[in-house]
Structure 1
Amino acid sequence: MAAHEPTDPRNAHPDDDFPAQEQPQPGLTGRTTPTPDHGESDYRGSDRLVGRRTLITGGDSGIGRAVAIAFAREGADVAIAHLPEEQADADSAVELVRDAGRSALSFAGDVRDPEFAASIATRTAEEWGGLDVLVLNAAYQKDREGLETLADDEFDRVFRTNLYGMIYTARAAIPLMQPGASIIVTSSIQAFQPSPGLIDYAMTKAAQVAFVKALAEELGPRGIRVNAVAPGPIWTPLIPATGWDADRLAQFGQDTPLGRAGQPAELAGAYVYLASDAATYVSGAVLPVTGGKGL
C-alpha cells in the first residue's frame, strides 16, 4: 500500500489571490471572492462530539460556519446565532448541519442586545434539554485611520459586540452547563500583536484572553473548561468588510512563516479538540492557529 503523502502547509490552500473588493458589515459569503473554504467538501468526522448540544455565535459564516460544519460531522447538534442580514448564510449553514444528520437551530438578532444574547443560550437548552458547548465567536472589526478619528459609536460597536455580547451569552449559559461542558472563545493574534489600524478590535481580543483565564479558574471546580483559539489572518467575509484597500488585501496573510492566509476550515480541528474529551485537562489555554506567527 502506498504511503499517504503529508500535505505541504505552504500550499494546502493555494488560491491566495484576494482581488480588490469591499462590502458593508456584516460581510456575506456570497459576496466574498474567492469563496472561503469552510470544510464543506473535505471535513470528515470521527464521532468525537456525539450528542453534544452546541451554541455558536456568529455561526453563519467564516470561522463559526467551519466550526458548525465540523461539530455536526463529529456528531453534535448545533445552534447558531447571527445578524438578521446574514439569514441566507445562516440558512445554508443550518442545511449543512442537518445534512450531517444532526439537529440545528438558527437565531437571528444582535448580541449587543442583552435580552437576545441571553435568550440564545436559554432557548438552545430548552430545545435540547441542556447546553454542552458554547462557542463565543461573534465579532466586529473595522480599519481605523488613527485613534484621534475613532468615533464613539464605532468604538462602542466593537466593544459591545466582542465583549458585552460575549458576557451576556456566557452569563446566561453557565447555569445551564454541567460538568464536562466547554466554553471556547474566538480571540485573535491581535490580542498579542496588535495592529494600529485595528486598535479597538485588538483591545477587545486582549480582554477576551483575560476573560478566558479568569473564567477557567472560576469554573474549573465545577468541571467546566474554558479556552480560546487565537486565529491569525483567516480569509472570511469579515476581511473584505474591514475596509482595507487593494494593496492590503493582496498582501493579506503573506507575512506569516507559511506565506499565506488561512482558511476557516483550517481552524475547525482546534475547536473540535478543545470541545472533545481529548482535551479534558486543557483549560485556560489560548491555542494559536496563525500560520506560524508567534503570540
Structure 2
Amino acid sequence: MLLPYDLRETDAPEKMVAQAAKELGGLDTLVLNAAQQITQPTIEGLTMEQVRDTFEVNIISMFATVQAALPHLPAGASIITTTSVQAFNPSGHLLDYAVTKAAIANFTVGLAKQLSKKGIRVNGVAPGPIWTALQLDEGQPKEKLPVFGQDSLMERAGQPVELAPVYVFLASNEASYVTAQIYGVTGGEAINL
C-alpha cells in the first residue's frame, strides 16, 4: 500500500498514520525512514528554507508520526528510527542533514526510555554510505559520486538490501529484549552514542 505524503506539511503524519492503521487493521511496527539530504559545501550557502525543510522531514515529522501512531501501537510493538553514521561523524557538506541525524539518535534513546513502560521497543539503524536516491538527488557532490563509499573499510558503498535484515530483526520478536539501541550498518565505520 503506497501512501504518498509530503512530511513538510503539518497534518501529513497524522493523516498517513490514520490511513495506514485503517487499511492494515492496526499497527505493530513503525519504521521512521523519511529523509531529505542536500549537499551544501558552506554554511553561507545553506538557506534557512533548506534547513527548515530538512528538520521538518527528518526529525519533526518523527515526533508527529509517533504521537499519531501511539494510540494504535500495542504492548510488544516496535518503533525503528533511521539515523545515520552522519550523526557520529558528520560531513561538512551535509551540515543540516547530519545535525538532524544526531537529533534522531538522541530521540531514539529518549523515546525508548519513555515507551518502555508501555512495552514498546524503540531502536534505530545508522546506515553508512548506502546507494539510495538521496545520493543521486543532490545528496552528494557530483564529483564525489564515482568514489562514494570507497573510503569505508569494505571499500564500497552498501546497498539498501543490506540494511533490510537489521530492520526485520528489530521489528521481530527475536529482538524482544532489545531497546534504546542504535545498530550501525556502515561498512565498518564506528558509531558511538
- Give how far 1:146 is off: 0.7
* Superimposed CA distance per residue, residues 209-230 of structure 1 (whole angstroms, 9 cap, x where no aligned partner): 1110010000001110000000
* 1:178 paired residue among 74, 87, 102: 74
| 2:190 is equivalent to residue 280 of structure 1 | no
* 1:164 paired residue among 60, 79, 83: 60
Tell me the distance in 2 between the aligned counterparts of 1:130 and 1:165.
Answer: 20
* 1:194 paired residue among 90, 109, 113: 90
Tell me the distance in 2 between the aligned counterparts of 1:142 and 1:266.
Answer: 23
- Give how far 1:245 is off: 4.1
The one-letter code sitting in structure 2 at the alignment partner of 1:144 is: Q
- The RMSD of aligned alpha carbons is 1.1
The one-letter code sitting in structure 1 at the alignment partner of 2:117 is: P
Tell me the distance in 2 between the aligned counterparts of 1:239 and 1:149.
Answer: 19
- Give how far 1:247 is off: 3.1
The 5-angstrom pairing of residues 123-272 of structure 1 reads 123-242=19-138, 244-272=140-168
Partner SS for 2:2: strand
Taking every aligned residue pair, what percent have the same amino acid on both sides?
Answer: 46
Partner SS for 1:250: helix
Do 2:39 and 2:138's aligned partners in 1 also have CA atoms closer than 8 Å? yes
Q: Which residues of structure 2 form unaligned runs of 5+?
A: none
The one-letter code sitting in structure 2 at the alignment partner of 1:123 is: Q
- Give how far 1:108 is off: 1.7
Change (3 A) 1:246 1:122: closer
Tell me the distance in 1 between the aligned counterparts of 2:164 and 2:43.
Answer: 34
Tell me the distance in 1 between the aligned counterparts of 2:177 and 2:141.
Answer: 43
Tell me the distance in 2 between the aligned counterparts of 1:242 and 1:278.
Answer: 37
Deviates more, 1:235-244 or 1:180-189: 235-244
- Give how far 1:119 is off: 1.3
* Superimposed CA distance per residue, residues 207-262 of structure 1 (whole angstroms, 9 cap, x where no aligned partner): 00111001000000111000000000000111011254443011100010111000
Tell me the distance in 2 between the aligned counterparts of 1:212 and 1:160.
Answer: 17
The count of corresponding residues between Structure 1 and Structure 2 is 191
Change (3 A) 1:243 1:120: closer
Query: Which residue does the alignment assign to 1:294?
Result: 190
With structure 1 as the length reference, what TM-score do the two structures score?
Answer: 0.63
Partner SS for 1:108: coil
Tell me the distance in 1 between the aligned counterparts of 2:140 and 2:168.
Answer: 31
Change (3 A) 1:163 1:243: closer
Change (3 A) 1:234 1:243: closer
Do 2:5 and 2:16's aligned partners in 1 also have CA atoms closer than 8 Å? no
- Give how far 1:127 is off: 2.2
- Give how far 1:128 is off: 2.6
With structure 2 as the length reference, what TM-score do the two structures score?
Answer: 0.96
Q: Which residues of structure 1 form unaligned runs of 5+?
A: 1-104
